[in-house]
Amino acid sequence: DDEKLAKDLRTTYLQLQEQNEGDDLAPGPASEADDAVALNAQILASREEVDLLQAQADLVQQRIMTLNDHIAVKESEIQDREFQWGTAKGEVAFEEGEAMTLEEEISVLRSLALKMRASLLSRSKSLPSDLTSALDKKQRDALGPFQRALDPGVPHGKRLNWVWL
């Protein structure tokens, strides 16, 4: 039964193939005109499709160029921010160094002020040598008017009142 069905299918296939070959060999005049019209329609449709694809490709290319420009701007902004960040880090480091220097000076001056107060409260007429030797030139120059105020030769009204220390 299957063999008979296969044989019938082969026979039908061969008949259809012969008919198609016969149509291709001797087309009628109406068939050629119809084919030409159909080919022209396909050509026009293909041209329109090509034009649409070209327009789409142009839009994609423009979008890519716009995105590349946007990326370049963002990279420039990143470089600017990195430069600003580096500058700020340098400024912070400098300011931290300044703060440490000032803290050291405050500590020294606080110690000197306490020693001066103790010396003045003891009613000594001069500052101890260990106090004056711990000072640098700038500090000794600044201390000059205070030492003169402690001098017994200075009138009492011109002397400094050190109780506020």
Question: What is d(CA 57, CA 51) in angstroms, rounded to the nearest whole number?
Answer: 10
154 near 148, Cβ under 8 Å?
A: yes
The pLDDT score that the predictor gives to residue 149 is 60
Between 143 and 53, residue with greater pLDDT: 53
The pLDDT score that the predictor gives to residue 100 is 94
Instruction: Identify the H or E element spanning 130.
Output: helix 129-133
> How many C-beta neighbours within 10 Å does residue 116 have?
19
Between 13 and 78, residue with greater pLDDT: 78
Give the predicted TM-score (pTM) of the model.
0.44
| Predicted confidence (pLDDT) per residue in 103-138, tens digit | 988 887 787 777 777 777 776 666 667 667 767 777
State the average pLDDT over residues 46-53.
89
Question: Mean pLDDT highest for which of 3-7, 33-37, 87-91?
Answer: 87-91
Q: Is the pLDDT of residue 1 over 80?
A: no
pLDDT tier, 164 (very low <50, low <70, confident <90, very high otherwise): very low
Q: Which of 17-26, 98-107, 142-151 has the lowest mean pLDDT?
A: 17-26
* Measured torsion, CA atoms of residues 77, 82, 85, 89, in degrees rounded to the nearest 10: -170
The pLDDT score that the predictor gives to residue 4 is 77
Tokens of 136: 């640098």
Question: What is d(CA 44, CA 35) in angstroms, rounded to the nearest whole number?
Answer: 14
| Predicted confidence (pLDDT) per residue in 68-94, tens digit | 999 999 999 999 999 999 999 999 999
What average pLDDT does the chain have?
78
96 near 138, Cβ under 8 Å?
A: no
